[in-house]
Amino acid sequence: MVAIRVHDLNYAYSDGTVALEHVSFEIARGESVALIGPNGAGKSTLLLHLNGILHSKKSRGAVEILGEPIDPRKVHKMPKKIGIVFQDPDDMLFMPLLGDDVAFGPINLGVANDEVKRRVKDSLERVGLAGYEERVSHHLSGGEKKRAAIATVLSMDPEIIAMDEPTANLDPKSRAELIEILKGLKSEGKTLIIITHDVNAIPELADRVIVLHKTIVADGTTREVFADTEMLVAAGLDVPTIMQFFEVLQAFGYPCDVLPLSIEDAVRNLTRTIENGDGHVHLHIHKHTHSGVDSARSKYQHHSG
C-alpha cells in the first residue's frame, strides 16, 4: 500500500515566491526516505503539505495519505495518520511538564485516560526518557528535547512519521542516541520521511533519497543518488565523508569497486579486502596518484573555505 502519494504539487507563497513546482512521488508503507536539498529548496514547505497545515486550492487532492486525499476541513484528524517532528523541539513542548506535553495529543484525539497514561509511559520509554513525566520540558538538554518531541508524536501512534532535521545542533553522543531511536522506528516498520543535511546519517536511516530543489531533481536508492556526485555538487549538496575518503584511497591503489557509504560498509569492505589479501592492505604512490587525489578533492571543493 502507498503511504504517501504526491502528484503535481505546486505552491507559491502570498508574495509570489514559488516554493514547489510539479512535485510528484510515492512512498510505500514501511519505507524510510531521506529528503535532501539546499536551503530554500522547499523541503519544509513540502513537509507542511503532508499533514494539511499548508494547502493550495490549485493543488487540491495533490497529496494523499494512506490512500485518502487531505481534506483541509479534517486537518485535526491528521496526527493519527502522520506525525510531524519539527526542527525546533520548543515548537512542540509547551506544557508545564513533559508528561503533559506527551499526553496532549492523545487527549485531544479523545483517547481514554488509562490509555493516555499507557501511551505517555510507553512513548517516553521508547525514546530513552523513562520516568521523565514530571520533568519540566524547558529544563531538558538539547538532545533530550529532540527525543521528547519525538515522544509527543509517538503517543498519537501514527503510521507515518516525518521529521525536519532531527539530528541538527546535537553533540555527537546525542546525535548517536537519536539515530538509534530512528533506526528502531525503521525496524518497527514505521514509514519515515526525514529531511536532513546530515548526509552521514542517511545510509543508516534511509533506503531511498529524494533530492528536492522546488521540483524533484533525483529519486533513487541511497547508493544511486550519492553515486551521482555531479548532480549533488550542482545542487550544493554533499556525499557521506566515508564515501569521499574511500574515493581518495582508490587513488592510492586501494581495490574498491563500490564505495562504502557508512562506517559499517567501510568495516565490511576493509575486512573483506584484508581477508582476501592475506591480512594486508597495500597502498601505493604512482604517477597517477596525485592527479587522482586532486580529482576526488575537486568534486567537493565547493565546501572548502
Contact 35, 215 (CB under 8 A): no
> Could you tell me which residues are beta bridge partners of residue 193?
33, 162
Q: Identify whether residues 245 and 226 lie together within a single domain.
A: no
The domain boundary residue, chosen from 234, 262, 283? 234
Q: Identify whether residues 165 and 260 lie together within a single domain.
A: no
* pLDDT exceeds 70 at position 79: yes
- Report helix, strand or coil for 131: coil
- Report the C-alpha gap between 25 and 2 in whole angstroms: 10
Of 1, 27, 37, 2, nearest to 215 by C-alpha is 37
* pLDDT tens-digit series, residues 18-61: 999 999 999 999 999 999 999 989 999 999 999 888 887 777 67
Q: Identify whether residues 99 and 227 lie together within a single domain.
A: yes
- Report helix, strand or coil for 159: coil
Contact 243, 259 (CB under 8 A): yes
- Report helix, strand or coil for 8: strand
Lowest-confidence pick of 62-76, 91-105, 208-222:
62-76
> Could you tell me which residues are beta bridge partners of residue 118?
none
Q: What is the DSSP string of 112-148?
A: -HHHHHHHHHHHHHHTT-TT-TTS-GGGS-HHHHHHH
Q: Identify whether residues 188 and 289 lie together within a single domain.
A: no
The pLDDT, as a whole number, for residue 304 is 40
Q: Identify whether residues 181 and 256 lie together within a single domain.
A: no
What DSSP designation does 261 have? -
The pLDDT, as a whole number, for residue 238 is 86
The domain boundary residue, chosen from 234, 259, 274? 234
- How many structural domains compose the chain? 2
Which CATH number does the domain housing residue 94 bear? 3.40.50.300
Q: Identify whether residues 223 and 279 lie together within a single domain.
A: no
Q: What is the mean pLDDT of the chain?
A: 89
What radius of gyration do the chain's Cα atoms show? 22
* Structural domain boundaries enclosing 270: 241-303
The pLDDT, as a whole number, for residue 292 is 63
Q: What cell numbers appear for 215 in the block?
A: 521540483
93 backbone φψ class: left, alpha, beta (φ>0; ψ -120 to 50): beta
* pLDDT tens-digit series, residues 251-269: 787 887 788 888 888 888 8
- Report the C-alpha gap between 296 and 160 in whole angstroms: 38
Q: Identify whether residues 131 and 197 lie together within a single domain.
A: yes
Q: Identify whether residues 263 and 174 lie together within a single domain.
A: no
Q: Identify whether residues 197 and 285 lie together within a single domain.
A: no
The pLDDT, as a whole number, for residue 234 is 86
* pLDDT tens-digit series, residues 9-27: 999 988 988 999 999 999 9
Q: Which residues contact 142 (CB under 8 A, 6 or more apart)?
A: 169, 170, 171, 174
Of the two residues 155 and 304, the one the predictor is more confident about is 155
Q: Identify whether residues 86 and 132 lie together within a single domain.
A: yes
The pLDDT, as a whole number, for residue 51 is 87
Q: Identify whether residues 132 and 280 lie together within a single domain.
A: no
The domain boundary residue, chosen from 198, 214, 234? 234
Q: Identify whether residues 175 and 261 lie together within a single domain.
A: no
